[in-house]
Structure 1
Amino acid sequence: MARITTPLTNTEVKQAKARDKEYNLSDGEGLQLRIKPNGSKLWLLNYSRPYTKKRVNLGFGKYPDISLADARKLRAEARTLLAKNIDPMEHRDSISNHQKEKIENTLLNVAKKWFQVKKSAVTPNYAEDIWRSLELHVFPYIGKRPISEITAPIAIKTIAPIAEKGSLETVKRINQRLNEIMNFAVNTGLIHSNPLTGIKAAFEKPKKQNMPTIKPDELPDFMRALSIASIKIVTRYLIEWQLHTIARPSEAAGAKWSEIDFENNLWNIPADRMKKKTSSFRTVN
């Protein structure tokens, strides 16, 4: 004949005294109150794990933080899981790990990991531009959100103010960078798919236009205007340096004396400052 356990009362739980050795009071169906020699009282559920049938104890917390009614509710939830062959201890650990991952894997933290890879494939100046744009337009608004909770509507709402200002090139770049971060999250197993794949369709495309130029016969007038322009002398020298070397603005602005070969009138631009990551030589007259 099965042994019948009399359920505990609130008075029994409250008045249970410490002894020289720890002991248990049973409420039935595996729920126990363990009283330790120091007087602390812990709720435990003793159960058989699915499949292995190994007996284990699942802690529910301390009394009185967890009342008798609370403990019984937790017991009922655990027994519901067991009825479905789900181990309540593994289930709780899974939820805990998921919550921890959500806290750790925010958009900002994942972006930092992505950027460590990205910056090795671009020039330092371009890498700085990438990160600055995210710091300005993205991180203050959704940087603390878990990567798993970033959706297309959330991203579109974040980018919309930039589009409203007419900065469509910036919108295009932010879209691209967010998609790269999300693809990185997919490839590193943080999310199952990239929900931002089609967000560019929510914004107007920037109009393509050629950069403004001047004709060769207009160059003398330009140089005269440059010589009397109200600008810093270093800016004037930079423009003249570009005209002499036909270098990109970032390359010209980053030029160092150590890169100039005065004997051969050559400027050696290091590979890490070139767009295609290869060294370049320019004649300097």
Structure 2
Amino acid sequence: MPKVATRLNDTQIKRAKASDKNYELSDGEGLILRVLTSGTKSWIFRYSPPYTKKRTNISFGTYPLITLKEARQLREEARTLLAKNIDPKEHKKQAEAFEISEAQNTFRLVAQKWFEIKKTTVTEGYAEDLWSSLENHLFPRLGDRAIRDLTAPLVIEVMQPLAARGVYEQIRRLCQRVNEIMTYAVNTGIIHANPLAGIKSAFQSPKRNHMNTIEPERLPELLERLNRASIKYTTRCLIEWQLHTLCRPSEAACAKWSEIDFENEIWTIPAERMKARKEHKIPLTKQSLHLLELMKPISAHLEYIFPADRNPRTHTNPQTANAALKRMGFQNILVAHGLRALGSTILNEKGFDPDLIESALAHTDKNEVRRAYNRAQYLARRREMMEWWSEHLTESL
């Protein structure tokens, strides 16, 4: 019959004195108290790892920091792992490595990894706006925190100043972006679950506002104000370019000379700068080409058609047109993006094919077959429509 080890008790452990040699006291089932010559008392669990069966030890810490009761609990946890063919020592190493990894994965670091992927799916301007919103509103307080430590109450508290200002659309976007980052962290194994999934419900929903635009009958008024406005020459040409091409403000501001095919009179906006991530071709009318001729002395030697005033090597700000429209007296009445809506309304009123108008506005057609037809067949018909539109603008002045 096997010998049953005598269990240790606290009195024995306290009385165990240092000797000229290390010695061990057994509590049974692999748990040992090793008494060193220095007087240090260390808990050791001796076991045979799965598969190798080569005897080894794992340390549970020192007494009295780890009590007898706690050491026994650790022994039972180790025995449970062994029963599942899991090596306690390897399990401990993996757990420690995971703890270190989690602590090093700050919100900023994980956001940067997510952004490297995200920016390939959106336009350059949108990517800049996205990252700036994180830097301005979240990173100052959350950037250096481990992502595992983020909680809904904490993130909601950080966004409260925005709520106090009533900028609920900005909050909505931040909530969306934070949740995309957290989902990325879950999918890549950095965290196990997303605790921020419902944070948007802590704030009011933003009111949906359509892009401000004017009635078609006010087009002559707009053109007259633009003609006599006290604004920079480049800005005036930028707004006229948006009107004649019906492009988005960011697409106009970032337009490059290399995108213009003068021979075929086409402006090709690459997919990475388009909202739908699809290349967009715009037929250029004689009025559009005239605007380019006006800009050549200013920027033909530069990359961008409409260069920034302070740094000509980069493009003008997409908000430049909006600022100019405000100075022209259209604040809360018309925004640069609303120029597209104005053009769409007039073209629809004149009976142009709605599909043709949607194609000119670069609105994505969900029908794959029709979208392919649009690319192949619509360009010539769009040129006719754009020529009518440019003539209409010229006659309205």
- TM norm structure 1: 0.78
More strand by share: 1
Instruction: Indicate if the aligned counterparts of 2:18 and 2:35 stay in contact, CA closer than 8 A.
Output: no
Q: Determine the structure 2 residue equivalent to 1:26.
A: 24
1:78 aligns to 2:71 (yes or no): yes
Instruction: Indicate if the aligned counterparts of 1:8 and 1:27 stay in contact, CA closer than 8 A.
Output: no
What is the CA deviation profile of residues 213-265 of structure 1, one whole-angstrom value per residue up to 9, with x for unaligned ones? 12333233323322333333322221111111111011100101111112222
Q: Structure 2 CA distance, aligned partners of 1:120 and 1:93?
A: 37
Instruction: Indicate if the aligned counterparts of 2:25 and 2:33 stay in contact, CA closer than 8 A.
Output: yes
Q: Structure 2 CA distance, aligned partners of 1:121 and 1:177?
A: 14
What is the CA deviation profile of residues 116-160 of structure 1, one whole-angstrom value per residue up to 9, with x for unaligned ones? 222221112212211111111112122222222222222211222
- Range that drifts further, 185-194 or 248-257: 185-194
Q: Determine the structure 2 residue equivalent to 1:258.
A: 258
Q: Structure 1 CA distance, aligned partners of 2:41 and 2:93?
A: 19
Please state how far the C-alpha of 1:99 moved relative to its aligned partner: 2.3
Instruction: Indicate if the aligned counterparts of 2:163 and 2:203 stay in contact, CA closer than 8 A.
Output: yes
Q: Structure 2 CA distance, aligned partners of 1:112 and 1:86?
A: 40
Q: Structure 2 CA distance, aligned partners of 1:81 and 1:91?
A: 13
Q: Structure 2 CA distance, aligned partners of 1:171 and 1:115?
A: 19
**Compared CA separation, residues 194 and 69, structure 1 to 2 (3 A):** closer
What is the CA deviation profile of residues 63-119 of structure 1, one whole-angstrom value per residue up to 9, with x for unaligned ones? xxx7x644xx36653332213435664564355234213212222222222222222
Q: Structure 1 CA distance, aligned partners of 2:4 and 2:268?
A: 90
Instruction: Indicate if the aligned counterparts of 1:7 and 1:28 stay in contact, CA closer than 8 A.
Output: no
Q: Report the secondary structure of 2:278's partner residue.
A: coil
Q: Report the secondary structure of 1:205's partner residue.
A: coil
Q: Determine the structure 1 residue equivalent to 2:44.
A: 45
- Range that drifts further, 24-33 or 127-136: 24-33
Instruction: Indicate if the aligned counterparts of 1:105 and 1:147 stay in contact, CA closer than 8 A.
Output: yes
**Compared CA separation, residues 3 and 199, structure 1 to 2 (3 A):** closer
Q: Determine the structure 2 residue equivalent to 1:228.
A: 228
Q: Structure 1 CA distance, aligned partners of 2:24 and 2:57?
A: 13
Q: Determine the structure 2 residue equivalent to 1:19.
A: none
Q: Determine the structure 1 residue equivalent to 2:247.
A: 247
- Matched-pair identity in %: 44
Q: Determine the structure 2 residue equivalent to 1:183.
A: 183
Please state how far the C-alpha of 1:51 moved relative to its aligned partner: 7.3
Which amino acid is 1:12 matched to?
A: A
The higher-RCO structure (CA 8 Å, 6+ apart) is 2
Q: Structure 2 CA distance, aligned partners of 1:217 and 1:183?
A: 48
Q: Structure 1 CA distance, aligned partners of 2:271 and 2:94?
A: 48
Q: Report the secondary structure of 2:194's partner residue.
A: coil
- TM norm structure 2: 0.58
Please state how far the C-alpha of 1:25 moved relative to its aligned partner: 3.7
Which amino acid is 2:223 matched to?
A: M
Q: Determine the structure 2 residue equivalent to 1:170.
A: 170
Q: Report the secondary structure of 2:44's partner residue.
A: strand
Instruction: Indicate if the aligned counterparts of 1:31 and 1:75 stay in contact, CA closer than 8 A.
Output: no
Q: Determine the structure 2 residue equivalent to 1:108.
A: 108
**Compared CA separation, residues 33 and 177, structure 1 to 2 (3 A):** same
- The 5 Å alignment of 1:96-135 reads 96-135=96-135
Please state how far the C-alpha of 1:2 moved relative to its aligned partner: 8.2
Q: Determine the structure 1 residue equivalent to 2:212.
A: 212
Structure 1 stretches of 5 or more lacking a match?
Answer: 17-22
Instruction: Indicate if the aligned counterparts of 1:34 and 1:42 stay in contact, CA closer than 8 A.
Output: yes
Instruction: Indicate if the aligned counterparts of 1:44 and 1:57 stay in contact, CA closer than 8 A.
Output: no
Which amino acid is 2:138 matched to?
A: V
**Compared CA separation, residues 51 and 239, structure 1 to 2 (3 A):** same
Q: Structure 1 CA distance, aligned partners of 2:175 and 2:211?
A: 23
Q: Structure 2 CA distance, aligned partners of 1:86 and 1:76?
A: 17
**Compared CA separation, residues 126 and 43, structure 1 to 2 (3 A):** same
Instruction: Indicate if the aligned counterparts of 1:32 and 1:44 stay in contact, CA closer than 8 A.
Output: yes
Please state how far the C-alpha of 1:169 moved relative to its aligned partner: 1.0
Q: Structure 2 CA distance, aligned partners of 1:269 and 1:212?
A: 25
- Range that drifts further, 92-101 or 45-54: 45-54
Structure 2 stretches of 5 or more lacking a match?
Answer: 82-87, 287-397
Q: Structure 2 CA distance, aligned partners of 1:92 and 1:199?
A: 35
Q: Determine the structure 2 residue equivalent to 1:202.
A: 202
